[in-house]
Amino acid sequence: MQARSKALLLAGLSVVVVAVVSLLPPVSQDVRYHHFADQRSLWGIPNFGNVVSNLPFLAVGAVGLWRVAITRVPAAIGWIYSVLFIGVLLTGFGSAYYHWHPDNDRLIWDRVPMTIVFMSLLSATVAELVDRRLGMGLLFPLVALGAGSVLYWHWSELQGHGDLRWYGLVQFLPMLLIPLLLWLYWSPAHKPAIRSLAWVVVWYIVAKVMEALDRQIYDLVGISGHTLKHLAAAMSTVYFVQLFGRRYRGLRDRAISRENAI
């Protein structure tokens, strides 16, 4: 398939999905959403499992930012991965803050960082597989759209007619486009990146299944599905670090060798 045909396919699919979502009726936040299965407190921490299971996000975000800092990469790549790992780090803080006392106002601080992750991951995928400048050009508009979808949802809730459609689009469209990008732009040179990105998608799917089975898993094993969802999602972000390391380890190693030689 020619490059133009690939671009038209991706753009056309995105337009169709946006059009379909715009035709759907508004989707309000289910009032039961905040009632998670595991509400046990421990060591003075309410909803202990759902709060502390966010710690891996902090670790992955910090390690990722450190990797970017010590690796000499093109400026666009440095920006994209820095925003991605900042999003992971903020997800840890925001989700823990929300789960300490779940409600709609705190949920903003959980969801905005996640949209940063979703959108910067899509930008990174475009930069890795399609074109670096295009990926960089998409980064901040996509992040702004992601954050805007959460702010619009919260505003709509305050108006009494909540609308989650656009946040849902921001969450799931990258998970639709990324596998398509992996298929369209397959190349032996991209194999390390594609393997890592594939695992990102797999673990994200596992996380969504765990989230949907929150109560059932809690009743079965005594650990809630939502707690396990955090751990699976954090495992997904581990592959962000692996992706960056596999792609740019050589640049870091050469930089260290030059510094040692000096």
Q: Residues 123-182: pLDDT tens digits?
A: 998 988 888 899 999 999 999 999 999 999 999 998 888 899 999 999 889 888 988 888
Most confident of 50-64, 71-85, 196-210: 50-64
Separation CA 38–CA 210 (nearest Å): 13
What's the pLDDT tens digit per position in 49-74?
A: 999 999 999 999 999 999 999 998 88
Nearest to 143 by CA among 117, 110, 124: 117
Structural contact between residues 197 and 182, judged by C-beta atoms closer than 8 angstroms: yes
Domains for the chain: give ranges and CATH numbers: 51-261 (1.20.1070.10)
